[in-house]
């Protein structure tokens, strides 16, 4: 167990070093400003503080999802190209520990995005968010982030298992953005898409976030959001664990790193 | 006369060969999953996101107006991404040197790079418009279909020319992904698809008319509402002339880069 934690910490540090270069961060930060400003303007037209607060909280999550899903999703393939996968295979370190460490680094790197998103929302709206119950918001948000984490983790072995090529995430990242409930409660989606969205753990957690912002209408609905988010996150985590094992076995049995 | 037609035939064949070669060899999204993601899934999901977030601000006819704009905006990702990455990959795969060493007609080569990406954009437009029809219930009864199609084609042409211009930058820097999202998102805020141009100061709104798609969006919305061709001619002409401007700037950049690189003996200009 200690070895896994050491491996996780090592990959966390490496990813942090790779990602904290300004030349990589500045374009991503710059890209987030126009879209956040647009969403804020739309939220302002609703004349609802709750909606504005929802965008205030959700827009950094969209940026985190888009960046983390893309980078973590390609991480195994990049490890393959950089010829570091053999070392992972030969050692007793699990691939999942390595990728999880990278994911934690991505979460930490999300802080500048969060701060920038906050600044943009405040600059455009000239208002501060209002939250009915911050003590419920924080754990709800943590659950949303957890859902985001496990879904991104699943993408790394998936990309390798299905021999994903360039553009693989062009459909997956918008899917997470649309179905994650980051920018709007799922009830705003067309009915058919609401059903799909309920398979995403973040969508349930964001229901609880919405209730935390507005004030809890129904404790049943609120805790259902927590429960379903935890359940789906656990299922996706197990799926990621299983897929990592499949990929490792694929490499060990074939003896080849080539697709 | 025979010789003339033989030359036209040979040039045409050459053009088609280059268009196919650059498309098949340098377009990284040309696999079933990737292409379906970017050409089918992404436009549908983008429509879902914009109409869902847009429902905070718009409803009824205003929402349909936004959706029509989003459908034409669906072209930009695949066209920008496809063309700019092909320039970057040409550098990274070291085939740029072959081009510069060859006697190939540079104008034809430059033109050929974007040709097969244009139908991709139109495909995204068609998918996005269909999803708009299903999600917000567009009513095409009064629509001027010829105007809508013309607006889509001219906007797609302008986008390819703009992407070509950016592609030259990718060619020089061997990178396309770093500035792809910032440029796309900046255009997205200025093209009037979601944010109406009236929210900006007049000076910014006028600059926005030189941004790709802005005039195309005005034209297609007017055509959707049933405007005659005379009513959409001006924005279409502006869109087309913007495209010519991008084409000119891009082609000049393309030619200058080759000359500078040959003079310096390297494609990596930042080494000097």
A31 lies in a domain?
yes
**Cβ of B181 and A28 within 8 Å?**
yes
**Cβ of A166 and B34 within 8 Å?**
yes
For residue A255, count CB atoms less than 10 angstroms from its CB and return exposed for 0-12, middle for 13-18, buried for 19 or more: exposed
Which residues of chain A are within 8 Å of residue B182 when distances are taken between CB atoms? Answer: 27, 30-31
- HSE (side-chain half, CA atoms, 13 Å) at A147: 32
**Cβ of B56 and A51 within 8 Å?**
yes
A80 lies in a domain?
yes
A259 lies in a domain?
no
Q: Which domain holds residue A145?
A: 2-254
A215 lies in a domain?
yes
A33 lies in a domain?
yes
Signed CA dihedral, B222, B223, B228, B234: sign only:
positive
For residues B28 and A167, the answer to whether their CB atoms sit within 8 Å is: yes
- What was the pLDDT predicted at B270? 60
Which residues of chain B are within 8 Å of residue A190 when distances are taken between CB atoms? Answer: 48, 135
A158 lies in a domain?
yes
Residue in A closest to B186 by C-alpha? A34
- What was the pLDDT predicted at B251? 95
Is the interface score ipTM higher than 0.85?
A: yes
SS3 content of chain A, % helix, strand, coil (to 5): 80, 0, 20
A131 lies in a domain?
yes
φ, ψ at B266 (rounded to 5°) = -150, 150
Surface of B (98-157) touching A: CB under 8 A: 135
**Cβ of B57 and A34 within 8 Å?**
no
Question: Taking 50 as the threshold, does the pLDDT of residue A259 lie above it?
Answer: no
When divided into structural domains, chain A yields a total of 1
pLDDT, tens digit, 9 for 90 and up, residues A18-35: 777 777 778 878 888 999
Q: Mean pLDDT for each 10-residue chunk of chain B (272 residues)?
A: 81 90 91 90 94 91 94 95 93 86 89 93 97 94 95 96 93 86 90 92 93 96 95 95 96 92 81 50
| Maximum C-alpha span of chain A | 60
A230 lies in a domain?
yes
- Of residues B45, B121, B38, the one with CA closest to residue A165: B38
- HSE (side-chain half, CA atoms, 13 Å) at A41: 16
**Which of B36, B48, B63, B211 to probe by mutation at the A interface, max A CB count within 10 Å?**
B48
- What was the pLDDT predicted at A27? 82
DSSP string, B56-79: TT--HHHHHHHHHHHHHHTHHHHH
């Amino acid at each position: 167990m200690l070895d896994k934690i050491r491996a996780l910490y090592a990959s966390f540090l490496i990813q942090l070093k790779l990602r904290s270069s300004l030349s990589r961060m500045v374009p991503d930060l710059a890209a987030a400003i126009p879209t956040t400003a647009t969403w804020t303007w739309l939220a302002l037209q609703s004349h609802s503080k709750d909606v504005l607060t929802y965008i205030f909280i959700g827009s950094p999550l969209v940026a985190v999802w888009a960046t983390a899903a893309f980078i973590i999703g390609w991480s195994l393939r990049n490890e393959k190209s950089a010829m570091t996968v053999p070392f992972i295979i030969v050692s007793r370190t699990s691939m999942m520990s390595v990728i999880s460490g990278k994911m934690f680094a991505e979460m930490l790197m999300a802080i500048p995005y969060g701060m920038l998103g906050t600044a943009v929302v405040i600059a455009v709206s000239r208002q501060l968010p209002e939250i009915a119950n911050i003590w419920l918001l924080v754990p709800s948000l943590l659950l949303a982030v957890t859902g985001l984490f496990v879904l991104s983790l699943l993408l790394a072995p998936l990309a390798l298992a299905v021999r994903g090529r360039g553009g693989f995430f062009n459909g997956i990242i918008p899917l997470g953005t649309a179905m994650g409930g980051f920018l709007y409660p799922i009830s705003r989606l067309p009915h058919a898409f609401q059903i799909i969205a309920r398979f995403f753990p973040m969508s349930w957690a964001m229901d609880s976030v919405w209730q935390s912002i507005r004030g809890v209408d129904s404790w049943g609905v609120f805790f259902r959001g927590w429960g379903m988010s935890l359940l789906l996150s656990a299922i996706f985590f197990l799926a990621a664990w299983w897929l990592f094992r499949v990929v490792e076995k694929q490499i060990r049995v074939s003896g080849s790193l080539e697709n | 006369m025979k010789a003339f037609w033989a030359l036209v035939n040979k040039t045409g064949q050459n053009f088609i060969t280059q268009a196919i070669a650059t498309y098949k060899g340098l377009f990284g999204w040309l696999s079933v999953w990737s292409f379906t993601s970017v050409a089918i899934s992404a436009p549908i999901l983008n429509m879902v996101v914009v109409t869902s977030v847009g429902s905070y601000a718009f409803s009824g006819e205003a929402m349909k107006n936004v959706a029509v704009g989003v459908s034409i905006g669906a072209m930009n990702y695949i066209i920008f991404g496809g063309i700019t990455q092909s320039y970057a990959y040409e550098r990274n795969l070291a085939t740029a040197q072959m081009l510069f060493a060859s006697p190939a007609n540079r104008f034809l080569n430059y033109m050929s790079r974007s040709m097969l990406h244009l139908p991709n954009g139109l495909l995204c437009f068609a998918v996005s418009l269909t999803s708009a029809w299903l999600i917000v219930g567009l009513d095409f009864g009064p629509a001027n279909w010829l105007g809508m199609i013309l607006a889509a084609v001219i906007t797609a042409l302008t986008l390819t020319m703009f992407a070509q211009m950016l592609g030259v930058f990718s060619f020089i820097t061997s990178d396309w992904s770093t500035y792809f999202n910032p440029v796309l998102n900046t255009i997205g805020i200025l093209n009037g698809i979601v944010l109406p141009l009236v929210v900006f100061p007049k000076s910014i709104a006028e600059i926005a008319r030189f941004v790709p798609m802005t005039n195309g969006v005005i034209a297609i919305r007017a055509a959707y509402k049933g405007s005659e061709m005379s009513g959409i001619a001006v924005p279409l002409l502006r869109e087309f002339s913007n495209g010519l401007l991008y084409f000119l700037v891009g082609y000049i950049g393309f030619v200058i880069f080759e000359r500078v690189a040959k003079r310096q003996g390297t494609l990596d200009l930042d080494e000097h």
